[in-house]
Amino acid sequence: MSDETSAEYGSEQIQVLEGLEAVRKRPGMYIGSTGPAGLHHMVYEVVDNAVDEAMAGHCTQIDITLLAGGGCEVVDDGRGIPVDPYPKYPGMSTAEVVLTILHAGGKFGGGGYKVSGGLHGVGVSVVNALSSRVEVEIDRDGKRHFMSFVDGGTIKESLHVSGDAPGGRRGTTVRFWPDPTIFDEVVFRSQTLTERLQMMAFLNAGLRITFHDARTAGHDPVTFHYEGGIADFVRHVNASKESLFSDVGYLQQSEETDGQAMEVEVAFQWNTGFNTDGLHSFANGIATIEGGMHEEGFKKALTNTINRYAKSKGLLKDKDPALLGEDIREGLTAIVSVRLSEPQFEGQTKGKLGNVPMRSLVERATNERLADWLEEHPSEAKRVVVKASQAARAREAARSARDATRRKSALDGAGLPGKLADCSSNDPRESELYIVEGNSAGGSAKEARDPHRMAILPIRGKILNVERVRIDRMLKNAEVTSLIQAVGAGIAEEFDVEKIRYGKVVILCDADVDGSHIRTLLLTFFFRQMKPLVEGGHVYIAQPPLYSTKVGKDTVYLKDDFAKARFLEERPNHREEFARLKGLGEMDATELWSTTMDPTRRTLLQVSVEQAAIADEVCSTLMGEDVELRKQFIQTNAKDVRFLDI
Ligand code: 28F
């Protein structure tokens, strides 16, 4: 910029106001939306500047308070924004520049310029532009400096010394009141803020972040402070699981290449579960939910390092196939947190890190540091390799079992389970598969059915709890393989809904607790292993009658309470008892047909994905590995006996 004259000074001011005006015109461009997400983004922008000051090593405590009048106050104990003139903008102080143009430049803030990669890092000037009022207090050199803005950044009170810094403190305070003419709603939600503030504390080891909702009495402040940083985050996530070893692994490396500061931290721990979605990554404190270069670098190095270690220690024979990434990541909880000057956020939701140098930095750091960690923790390392080898064997077994299932049914059609009483029609549009609990009911269902369109598959006892075993173990279970072969369309990622052999898969269980258990397990199985079958509306639950009563020598069946009430209205003098039907076996074939299977008289409940998902949720909670969650669930659902028997 050429040397300034008073005219250009004026042009600076104009540039400032034009800049802020541009933000007010299209707020969504800067904070994503003017809905709740955008509103809370305003808080994160201000807090980010304080976190930058913490990352630069000058701030240890950040206080966020929701003010009674609807505003938000953020206080840090950093150096305080400089109040001296800002050379590039004559007549403006650094503080005014930070509040109206640039963004505080921490080590990773990019030296005063935060390159906005999408929604994050647009800086506090955007907050100013979208607030009806902003107050700034800067405590520096024993003095307190004050300035305020109104209506999107117009100076109300220019920067001046308002007194001494209380107790000689240092730091920056920003209070802002979001502009109600911009935002759909200006009421902050505590829960939203606390979740994200907790995450920021995990990602900045040692930093204390205190949140106080002062809008109503009785809300005590909550402080998040994790000396262990992301290692504490891994402990927090794994708390409800069974860990493979007590220690949490940690590695860190930083590097400076052509002015680009880059740092990577990884914390990791395996648990005994089978999930492979425990990897979470962040860039400059922002969750990169679509992954990106840092995650790719980590995954590649993890796989190579574990395989190299396993071979070097003879835990993997040279002839053994290498362990795949998914085998190694089974049960892994890991946090990959990187910091860099100019993050490029890409992808649909700006949740993917695009900086290519990050891939090699993270890969090199992980290769080096993880190899050291494995050497230093041989027993943990062995457990990881053994678990990964089991996962690899399970994967192989599942593949061969699936191939076998496919081969048998493809080759000679003999892939159909022995117990299946198939129907004669080959047209899925009219064919129905009844999965009947218990051999007795299966018998009367076979007798009752329409053999042209209805196939019967009796399921003996409680089918395997598919929740807690790997896919190979599941495929060894006779009941499960019968089910897969009967439906005839494969399972899991190979499931092809075009190949289903029946247009309707009907679950026919007793109306007692055992029946509801089987039904829950079957729904979970379909939801987990044949989701398109559920999504396509092919899964139904038969509704056997709940009551029976005598009329003369006949037995009349009533579907539900409503039918019973209607029956009594029509027969006010009916004196006979109503029996509560427990099991399908109480009905003979004729009755089973007329009440439950005859398409002209039956009621079938079509299962929605939501209902299957709830069953799945119930199953994971009750059968999954999370002991704590199971206890809570049973306590809260104790009144609902349906769930108690499991
Ligand atoms: C409640 C929100 O915004 N805290 C901040 C600082 C400290 C410095 C700074 C900020 C302009 C471009 C340098 C102080 N002393 N909390 C905050 N704390 N900005 S914002 O500098 C901004 C300058 O880069 C600071 C020495 N260096 C930096």
Residue 256's contacts (CB-CB under 8 Å, 6 or more residues apart) are 262
Alpha carbon distance 342, 345 (integer Å): 9
- Name the more confident of 616 and 27: 27
Kindly report the number of other CB atoms within 10 A of residue 400's CB atom.
Answer: 12
Report pLDDT for 121: 61
Counting from 1 in the atom list of ligand 1, the atom nearest the Cα of 78 is 18
Report pLDDT for 597: 96
Q: Of the residues 81, 100, 138, which should be mutated to test ligand 1's pocket, given the most ligand atoms within 8 Å of the CB? A: 81
Diameter of the chain measured on Cα atoms: 109
Least confident of 296-310, 341-355, 538-552: 341-355
Give the three-class secondary structure for 608: coil
- Phi-psi domain of 238 (left: phi exceeds 0; alpha: psi -120 through 50; beta: other): alpha
Q: Of the residues 46, 49, 145, 173, which should be mutated to test ligand 1's pocket, given the most ligand atoms within 8 Å of the CB? A: 49
Does the pLDDT at position 554 exceed 60?
A: yes
Q: Distance from the CA of 189 to the center of ligand 1, in angstroms?
A: 27
Q: Distance from the CA of 174 to the center of ligand 1, in angstroms?
A: 12
* CA-closest residue to ligand 1 atom 20: 104
* CA-closest residue to ligand 1 atom 2: 50
Return the DSSP state at 594: I
Domain(s) of CATH 3.30.565.10: residues in the chain:
21-225
β-partners of residue 73 are 65, 175
b/e for 127-155, b at 16 or more Cβ within 10 A?
Answer: bbbbbbbbbbbbbbeeebbbbbbbebbee
Report pLDDT for 112: 33
- Residue 286 is encoded by which pair of tokens? 């922002």
Q: Torsion angle, CA of 445/446/449/450, rounded to 10 degrees? A: 170
Q: Residues lining ligand 1, CB < 6 A?
A: 46, 49-50, 53, 74, 76, 78-79, 81-82, 94, 98, 102, 104-105, 112, 172, 174
Percentages helix, strand, coil for the chain, rounded to the nearest 5?
Answer: 40, 25, 35
Counting from 1 in the atom list of ligand 1, the atom nearest the Cα of 97 is 11
125 near 115, Cβ under 8 Å? no
Q: Distance from the CA of 45 to the center of ligand 1, in angstroms?
A: 13
Report pLDDT for 141: 97
Kindly report the number of other CB atoms within 10 A of residue 58's CB atom.
Answer: 16
Does the pLDDT at position 397 exceed 70?
A: yes
Counting from 1 in the atom list of ligand 1, the atom nearest the Cα of 53 is 18
Alpha carbon distance 463, 472 (integer Å): 15
Q: Distance from the CA of 579 to the center of ligand 1, in angstroms?
A: 77
Least confident of 1-5, 203-207, 428-432, 533-537: 1-5
What's the average model confidence in pLDDT over 552-567? Answer: 88
Report pLDDT for 156: 97
* CA-closest residue to ligand 1 atom 28: 81
Report pLDDT for 243: 86
- Name the more confident of 209 and 116: 209
* CA-closest residue to ligand 1 atom 8: 81
Given the structure tokens 């898969």, which residue do they identify?
A: 505
Give the amino acid at 255.
E
Least confident of 169-173, 256-260, 570-574: 256-260
Does the pLDDT at position 226 exceed 60?
A: yes
- Residue 607 is encoded by which pair of tokens? 């299962």
* CA-closest residue to ligand 1 atom 7: 81
Given the structure tokens 């962040």, which residue do they identify?
A: 282
Q: Which fold has domain 406-544+587-640?
A: Rossmann fold (3.40.50)
Counting from 1 in the atom list of ligand 1, the atom nearest the Cα of 94 is 11
The 3-state secondary structure of 26-74 reads CHHHHHCCCCHHHHHHHHHHHHHHHHHHHHCCCCCEEEEEECCCCCEEE
* CA-closest residue to ligand 1 atom 22: 104
pLDDT in tens, 472-507: 777 777 888 889 999 999 888 788 999 999 999 999
Does the pLDDT at position 414 exceed 80?
A: no
Mean pLDDT in the chain?
86
Least confident of 64-68, 519-523, 571-575: 519-523
Task: Say whether pTM exceeds 0.75.
Answer: no
Q: Distance from the CA of 24 to the center of ligand 1, in angstroms?
A: 24
Burial class (CB in 10 A: 0-12, 13-18, 19+), 97: buried
Does the pLDDT at position 106 exceed 50?
A: no
CATH class entry, domain 21-225 = alpha beta
What's the average model confidence in pLDDT over 576-598? Answer: 88
- Name the more confident of 113 and 97: 97
pLDDT in tens, 343-353: 899 987 788 99
Counting from 1 in the atom list of ligand 1, the atom nearest the Cα of 174 is 1
Residue closest to 592 by CA, chosen among 466, 369, 438: 438
Kindly report the number of other CB atoms within 10 A of residue 468's CB atom.
Answer: 15
Q: Of the residues 172, 176, 204, 209, which should be mutated to test ligand 1's pocket, given the most ligand atoms within 8 Å of the CB? A: 172
Alpha carbon distance 150, 646 (integer Å): 61
Sheet holding 547-551, edge to edge: 554-558, 547-551, 578-580
Q: Which helix (H) or strand (E) holds 472?
A: helix 471-475
Residue closest to 460 by CA, chosen among 436, 492, 484, 444: 436
Does the pLDDT at position 445 exceed 60?
A: yes
Domain(s) of CATH 3.30.230.10: residues in the chain:
230-397
What's the average model confidence in pLDDT over 396-405? Answer: 75
Report pLDDT for 113: 32
Kindly report the number of other CB atoms within 10 A of residue 252's CB atom.
Answer: 14
Q: Of the residues 60, 79, 97, 101, which should be mutated to test ligand 1's pocket, given the most ligand atoms within 8 Å of the CB? A: 79
Report pLDDT for 5: 45
Q: Which segment, 242-256, 358-372, 487-501, is predicted with the most confidence on average?
A: 358-372
Q: Distance from the CA of 144 to the center of ligand 1, in angstroms?
A: 15
Q: Which contacts qualify for 619-624: CB closer than 8 Å, 24 or more apart?
A: 619/465, 619/467, 619/520, 619/521, 619/524, 620/467, 622/646, 623/465, 623/467, 623/468, 624/467, 624/468
Q: Distance from the CA of 125 to the center of ligand 1, in angstroms?
A: 13
Report pLDDT for 407: 53
Report pLDDT for 169: 98
What's the average model confidence in pLDDT over 294-304? Answer: 97
Q: Distance from the CA of 4 to the center of ligand 1, in angstroms?
A: 25
Active site residues: 437, 510, 512, 514
What's the average model confidence in pLDDT over 534-562? Answer: 90
CATH class entry, domain 230-397 = alpha beta
Domain(s) of CATH 3.40.50.670: residues in the chain:
406-544+587-640
pLDDT in tens, 258-294: 777 899 999 999 999 888 888 999 998 888 989 999 9
* CA-closest residue to ligand 1 atom 12: 112
